[in-house]
Structure 1
């Protein structure tokens, strides 16, 4: 192969690379000019319910966080003060200590202290039932997060499948088969799958994190209940 031929091929390859780089730069600039909302709406009709689920998911996450944080607020001196009042035989003062803060721990302890004098099994049963009610209040709405974590990815997948069906239907009608038609339409429809997965992951993570938070609180309450029951049982056991 002559030197001229080699130089000619080299120039051709350089021109091709330059054109490709220019086209890529143009595509990037066009993509940057498109807003995130416009890009998201390219995902099709299924993007709308996914966006609605996202806003509702955020609402539930914030509302549950504030509610659970308030209910699980711990007074570090609550159990110590209650135990001190009970050992001194001052039941009314112990009830006043429980009312000091409107928390789940205080409500559970108050329910048992309020019926001191009845059998220990009954006091323990009442405290356990109160704990179950408080925990149920904390778990209120968490089922919605679990539902969203399952529904959002499915909606995204449905949007992608419907988009692919439309692409191939158009190809079958027009007979125009090229990579731009397929890839361009396909990437737009896969936006719905990506959005659905993001919403699903957020809801799934929040659901399990809140359940772990509540389980940790339930364990602390169980320990506090056991300590109070032991203190209430002491004088009766002595008698």
Structure 2
């Protein structure tokens, strides 16, 4: 309880900027949770991409089809539609895969831009709070009375805003980097699977 009281006291000393940074941190957490749930639903996983690639490499279309049918996620859905030659993908499978993958990746990247904005904005807000606090400290500093502790204490309190801003920025950067890496992995899996599907389909058509 005492720790919470001390933390709240430090928070108040940081000034009004601390409340803005608190809102930013809540926003980052909400985006992180929302994206985690969305990725869990739409990311087929690296394991699926590996198994599908191996099945198709060995010419086992039935196993690849069953794997795509049993799996969830954007990549599995696209591949299943192409393999089963549904009407929307039968005419031009390559164009279908390109368009659908672009839509899926755009949805996966949704809201990640806000995290990059907070990474840049949070330290600036913290710096703004620090400068504001230092201006206040200097304005109350009385040179004739020699109140050195007044200014040093004020500067110390002002630096709380900078520390908070850096913490929010670091947290936001970590969340942004995590989901960006997952998107890059999905892009790699899509490129590998799509290129193999095109090559395999082309070879089977020539053989026929």
Interval containing the TM-score (normalised by the shorter chain): 0.7 to 0.9
Instruction: Identify the residue that residue 46 of structure 1 maps to in structure 2.
Output: 17
Q: Which position in structure 2 is the counterpart of 1:150?
A: 120
Report if aligned partners of 1:47, 1:195 keep a CA contact under 8 Å in 2: yes
Q: Displacement, 1:137?
A: 1.1
Deviations 1:100-143 (A, max 9, x none): 3331111221343325653xxx3112101111111111111111
Q: Which has the higher Rg, Structure 1 or Structure 2?
A: 1
Distance 1:99 1:78 in 2: 11
The answer on whether the counterparts of 1:46 and 1:156 sit within 8 Å (CA) in structure 2 is yes
Instruction: Tell whether 2:57 aligns with 1:72.
Output: no
Contact 1:72 1:104 in 2 (8 A): yes
Alignment of 1:36 with 2:7, yes or no, is yes
**RMSD between aligned residues:** 2.7
**When the two structures are superposed, what TM-score results if normalisation uses the length of structure 2?**
0.83
Taking the aligned partners of 1:69 and 1:117, their CA distance within structure 2 comes to 29
| Paired residues for 1:190-201 under 5 Å | 190-201=159-170
Match of 1:9 in 2: none
**Aligned structure 1 segments of 4 or more residues deviating by more than 6 angstroms:** none
1:81 and 1:97 in contact (8 A); partners too: no
Aligned length, in residue pairs = 199
Go from structure 1 to structure 2 and tell me whether the alpha carbon gap of 1:134 and 1:160 turns closer, same or farther (over 3 Å shift).
same
Structure 2, unmatched stretches of 5+, are: none
Unpaired stretches in structure 1, ≥5 consecutive residues:
1-30, 88-92
**Which one of 116, 125, 137 corresponds to residue 167 of structure 1?**
137
Q: Which has the higher contact order (CA 8 A, sep 6+)?
A: 2
2:195 paired with 1:219? no
Give 1:226 shift: 1.3
